[in-house]
Amino acid sequence: MMQQTLREPEGTLFYVTGTGNLFLKVSQGWKELQLGNMIYLSNNIIPQDEPRAAYQLRGETKERIISVNERLNLVALNQPHSGDMMGLDMADRMCYEQAKAMGLAPNYRAFISSHRQDLVHVVYPGFRETLPITNLRGDVMFRNWRSIFNGNGGVINAGIPIYSFDGRDVLADPFWLQKSIWHGSTSRGLKVVDKHCETWRADHVSVMGQSSSLTSGLLLGQQTRSCSNEYIVLCIETHKNH
């Protein structure tokens, strides 16, 4: 593996079929990722991290490899959170630090609106239309950033996992009991007044935040829920360093 992949860019995933190990290319070499446990449903075995070719985009007639510089990752924090994230800056910092800890470029911010931020503007202007939005494995979720905010709620493909920074599928892993995300936004990515858990600093049952149930197939569904709930928090890669 070492001889074959010396030229691979940082952020490349390498799966060893013989052992089931998954490695992430970082500046110093390769870092092994810890995969989640198998989940058993009736007689079906669903591996949480069943491998596919890294960055593989399937078209109607051909396949191509999406390099790490040709996409923006949408990734979940490694744990669920109530509406009290100690503010937007702390939510952004958690995204930054968890990306950095996994050897990724720390260009991540929280996928939420707040009193001073509209979600639609989080990604840098030069990258909003040019790059696909993918999960950590490179599966394409959206054509580009703009396409999430066309008003239809950000329709997601149920067959594409959403991974946490430490490699777990948040929709399959029981650690995330509630399969909803916080976002505080309209379907067009604008802040919803008084629906951001008091600027993401409150977890009282009487305070409300805007959320979306991922099982409904929408990334920006319009559900108002108590900030006492512990939901998935997503992070978006905002730009690329060239």
How many Cα atoms within 13 Å fall on the side-chain side of residue 86?
A: 6
Query: What is the dihedral angle through the alpha carbons of 63, 68, 74, 77, rounded to the nearest 10 degrees?
Result: 130
Per-residue pLDDT reduced to its tens digit, 46-85: 233 333 333 333 333 334 456 778 999 999 999 999 999 9
Average pLDDT for 180-184: 98
Q: What is the pLDDT of residues 149-166, one digit of tens each?
A: 999 999 999 899 999 999
| Cα→Cα distances 70→56, 184, 208, 241, Å | 12, 28, 37, 11
CA dihedral 45→48→52→58, nearest 10 degrees, is 90
AA letter at 4: Q
Question: In the chain, what are the domain boundaries?
Answer: 70-237
Q: pLDDT, tens digit, for every residue of 188-207?
A: 999 999 999 999 999 999 99
CATH number of 70-237: 3.10.100.10
What integer pLDDT is reported at residue 34 of this predicted model?
65
